[in-house]
Amino acid sequence: MIAKKIIALGAIALLVWHSFSVVGFNEKSKTIEILLSFPEPVIENKTILGKSYHIITMGNLSIVATKGEPRLPVKFVNILLPPDTKIEEIKVTASKKIFLGKGYHVEPQAIPFSFSSHIPSQPLYQDDAIYNSSEPFPGEIYRVEGVHYFRGYPILLLALYPLQYIPKEGELFYHEKMSIVVKIKEGEINEMFRALPQDERRVKQLVDNPSILYSFSSTPPTSLSTNYKYIIITNASLESAFQTLIEYKSRFISAKMVNLTFIQNNYEGNDLQEKIRNFIKYAYQNWGAEYILLGGDDEIIPHRGFYGYVPSEPPEEDYDIPADLYYAALDGTWDDNGNGVYGELADNPDWYAEVYVGRAPVNTVTEATNFVNKVIAFETTNKPNVIQLHQSRLEHDNIPDSTVTPEACAQWIPNSYIINKLYEENGTVTKTKWRDAFSDGRLIVQHIGHGSVNEYFLNFENGGAIIWYGSDALRLINSFYPIYIAPICLSGAFDYNDCIGEKYLLNEEGGTSACILNSRYGWYSPSNAHTYSGEFAERQFYELFEEGRENLGKMMQIAKEHFSFSAAANPTYRWCYYEINLLGDPETPVLTTRSYNGSVHNINKDIYYDTIQAAIDDANPGDTLEVSPTLYKENIVINKKINLFGRNESTTIIDGSGVGSVINITADHVNISGFTISNGGNLPDAGIKIYHSSNNTITNCTIINNHCGIWLYYSSNNKFRNITLENNIYNFGIYGGDITHFYHDIDDSNRVNGNPIYYIIGQSGLIFNSTKVGYLGLVSCNDIVIKNVTFSNNYQGLLLANTSYSLITSCTFHDNFIGIFSSNSSHNHIHYSNIFSNSNYGICNHHSEPQCSVDATYNYWGDESGPYHAFNLNGKGDNVSNNVEFIPWLTAYIKGAGEENVGEGENFVDMMEEADTTLQINVTANASITVILYEEAPVEEPDAKSVGKYIDIFIKNESAVIWPINITIYYTQKDLDDAGITEGQLLGIYFFNESSNEWELYNDTGVNTTDIVVNGKQYAGYAWANIWHLTKLTICGDVKPPQTSYSLSPSLPSGENGWYVENVTVTLNAIDDISGVNKIFYRINSGNWIKYTTPFKINGDGEYLVNYYSIDKVGNK
């Protein structure tokens, strides 16, 4: 009986897919393409008002529905279009349906209720026409919400519906992926388009495809006639009171007051509101206006009433919602259909504000003076670190739970703040407790509960109803004037005769400095008290504390814009969007304490400022600003000739907070010195961005931890000295349209990650060989040789501008935005280099003329499939632009490469330094030999074991070769150890047979295992071969034992219970495809080992155990 045990080991490969989003713009076909993927829906069961429903979420997707509709996840997409285009076609496609099951009862959207009404005890309303239908809901996979504009940038709003619901059967299915293709055509530029850096910075935060800015960012910025970022509009009687505020604000921001009579006499419009709005448009377009304070109550500066409708029970409709958004969002007219009703959906509402608006609801000089004093006091007083949150019940037993809104706000408040909670759930909220909250000092006071124009509930039922009246607000005595935020009904109805919000502001002994309130009813849902108005309040806390948007008007407006899709799709959100107004100064910073003696000194004016930007805005051309050492969290725009000097480079720090450029220079003749500049936003922003600007000088600055350190765009003749760039994703880069944009004065005192910048202009015959390079730019150069140089972490690894007849070989370009950027250059050759992990292009040729083509053959692009290009759509390597010759490419990382010219006759080619290789070659004419050493197999691994040295040989004028070529490849002991092979196992040099796609051992090859020293380097030995053609080579050995098998005759036992009843013949066979089988051995029942030559028989009764093995020709067994 013969037994053999077989153990089979298997491998399991697990492929994990991660969600992703791909955004692209094809300039040639004028299409914007976005690919999105969605997570699997999460389905939970929840009881609401006594009935069971299914709640569905999909990651961070929004849920927006109208009354009675199923609440399904929706993906809102903001797609930026080039400013001079319009949409020709939109295509949205989805992947196949993935079925989730049936029997689901999806929660319907509840009827909204105002903070002045009560919820009946009944199940949620559902639209039976939908819930009894077998048609998919919503049926469509997308909906176009229109094209809206922000500061002239067109933004397409799309709603995607990856989840579909068949209500009657309760079936759910979803699409895992969706693709958007937007085809555009030529259009007109919107009148609000200024191309200013601050506009570009903000629009990048709004859209899902900010990279498209590259396609049109060459548009020069608007030249402003003057610069006033803060404007007060008021009448003649109040000018004297507001003049104090203008003088105060001018220390921090450029400020101007404009008289209403001037506006009425100089601007067109059907009424005063339209004339004021047209003036604000002018100020935005020509002065760079950003903050507008409406200096007067409704009688002085009338509101524009917007239309609102809410599908409540009964429905609520209002044609006159006071909405100062009219003065902030400046696109269109807000009455596009001309029916005199403003803010209808048919009027194409403008969701994105160009300026930030607040209102001082005052009628007299006394009231205006009090308002001004409160604003200045708030801004210049040290801020308390206490936030007051409040909750009053909305219904009996706190169903729905109204603490959800203050708790949602609380999650964004930093731990450094004390949160004081006055919740009805924790005990009766009395007037004394409320007064104490104000008198004890609070930075922000938040309130939730039922209310009206002149009153609101502090406490609904727990301890009895307690109502706070306008007269109570007027009697408050507190020395610090907090910001008041309350998403309740009518508390900000400034069109009434002094709502409670106005009384907080008019109180001369206390109250608040600003209020963010509703001018009409606030809204909530019976299934979630936080839905609608509460969400807007929470977002204000988020924008303030999480995003750092501390200017009140900006904080409120950007919080609203988070709900732009919701407002477009749902009338209740739209009502909330319209009614929220700021009664207060829009420029007031909530968190910063301002000082009359700031840390930025205008030496010419002898005026001090708190911020660098305020000093720049107020400076005259040519002024010198001296900046004291401290941390400045700013994004600075320099749009005039100034001298900006930090007093200490290491401690005068400007931090861009990860958004926008830290310093954006748009003027000429600017001098900057002595700063550390960090935390700039993503390209096209930078630590220092020089934009359409020339003749600037930047010295003695440290640029660290930015996405891009320094970026020059369409600029000329700028000078850099002693600049340290470190730890930026892309440190340095230049982009332009013609050669003048590449002429700059940059010497090697500037360093990138410790290595010098070489910016060479007008030179020829230079050689860079193994040079440590921080950045290399060649401008108007010729005959430059670059070898064995690594280029990384810059906007472009290597710049070739108007440079020709140069050779780049054996170099590495990685982790740049663009590996090599060629502009107006010709006859340049890039070979035998590694070009990979460059995020935009491996090589980008900026010119399409044939004479400017780049020869980039024989390079490795990061993947064996080659670079990605229209001619190589399956390429997974770096992108390559048009007019770059990239075929053929190399298929593995190049560890070393060398080139040598040989003459007629016998030649010895020494490539030991580059590839541990020598050649003996006989040629009949001049030829050029290139030897490449790969880091890994350039094709599939051989079955034999390679020592890890893969060699490729290229010969120019190969016809001159007299074959064979003798090649010797040397190996070290480390090569053997790393490969897991011994010298005794080596066989010789293998070649890759391209006809059979297999590695084969040369017939004429051998191994010398004698230790040898060559050029000072210790080798363990070498392999040699005589080769008769060019192909890939490597040294291989045999580390695999032969495979031995047996057969029996007869093959199956004829007796009972598996016993043989006759003699058994055993045949052994061994296979070794590499070195070949040398011997086979066997033994029977642990006897002596016997060399196998022929089949043998087993005779006699008994049990027999046969062992066997084989040995190959290098000793593997």
Token pair of 529, please? Answer: 């008290």
How far apart CA 654 and CA 634 sit, in angstroms, is: 6
Who's near 798: CB < 8 A, 6+ residues apart?
Answer: 776, 777, 778, 786, 791, 808, 813, 819, 820, 821
Q: Residue 773 and residue 757: Cα distance in Å, rounded? A: 6
Element (H, E) at 697: strand 697-704
In this predicted structure, the answer to whether residue 340 has a pLDDT above a threshold of 90 is: yes
Give percent of the chain above pLDDT 70: 95
Cα 171 from Cα 446, distance rounded (Å): 43
The per-residue pLDDT for range 850-861, each reduced to its tens digit, is: 777 899 999 999
Q: In 3-state terms, the chain is what percent helix, strand and coil (to 5)?
A: 15, 40, 45
Give residues with Cβ within 8 angstroms of 606, minimum separation 6: none
Confidence of residue 648 (pLDDT cuts 50, 70, 90): confident
What's 385-545+560-583's CATH class? Answer: alpha beta
- Locate the domains of the chain by residue range: 21-215, 385-545+560-583, 595-728, 750-872, 894-1037, 1043-1112
Q: Are 734 and 708 in contact (CB under 8 A)?
A: no
Q: What is the pLDDT of residue 844?
A: 93
So what's the pLDDT on residue 1030? 93
Tell me the backbone φ, ψ of residue 536, rounded to 5 degrees: -65, -40
Between CA 998 and CA 1006, with CA 1000 as vertex, the angle to 5 degrees is: 160
What would the mean pLDDT of 653-668 be, rounded to a whole number? 94
Q: What is the assigned CATH class of domain 595-728?
A: mainly beta
CATH code for the part of the protein at 21-215: 2.60.40.3800
> Using CA atoms, how far apart are residues 241 and 164, in angstroms rounded to an integer?
59
Question: Which tens digits make up the pLDDT trace of 456-508?
Answer: 999 999 999 999 999 999 999 999 999 999 999 999 999 998 899 999 999 99
Which residues 6+ apart lie within 8 Å of 1110 measured at CB? Answer: 1041, 1042, 1044, 1068, 1070, 1072, 1077, 1078, 1079, 1080, 1081, 1117
Cα 310 to Cα 63, 67, 524, distances in angstroms: 18, 9, 11
pLDDT tens digits along 1058-1093: 888 888 999 999 998 888 899 999 999 989 999 999
What is the pTM for the complete model shown?
0.62
User: Treating both helix axes as pointing N-terminal to C-terminal, what angle do 571-579 and 533-541 enclose, rounded to 10 degrees?
Assistant: 50
855, 833 contact by CB (below 8 A): no
Q: For helices 552-561 and 533-541, give the axis angle rounded to 10 degrees.
A: 130
Q: Report how far apart, in Å, the C-alpha atoms of 447 and of each of 423, 457, 515 are.
A: 10, 10, 11
Tens digits of per-residue pLDDT, 823-835?
Answer: 999 999 999 999 9
Q: For residue 221, is pLDDT > 80?
A: no
Cα–Cα distance, 731 to 625 (Å, whole number)? 27
CATH assignment of 894-1037, among 1.10.3470, 1.10.8, 2.60.220, 3.90.660: 2.60.220
Using the predicted structure, report yes or no on whether residue 908 has a pLDDT greater than 80: yes
Query: Each residue of 949-964: pLDDT tens digit?
Result: 999 999 999 999 999 9
What integer is the mean pLDDT of 548-575? 94
pLDDT at 442: 94
In whole numbers, what is the pLDDT of the chain averaged over residues?
A: 90
Confidence band for 367, pLDDT divided at 50, 70 and 90: very high
pLDDT tens by residue, 730-763: 999 999 988 999 999 999 999 999 999 999 999 9
Q: How confident is the model at residue 1 (pLDDT cuts 50, 70, 90)?
A: very low
Based on the number of CB atoms within 10 Å of its own CB, is 706 exposed (0-12), middle (13-18) or buried (19 or more)?
Answer: buried
What is the predicted pLDDT for the residue at 849? 73
What φ, ψ does residue 914 adopt, rounded to 5°? -85, -35
- pLDDT over threshold 90, residue 59: no
Residue 387 has pLDDT above 80, yes or no: yes
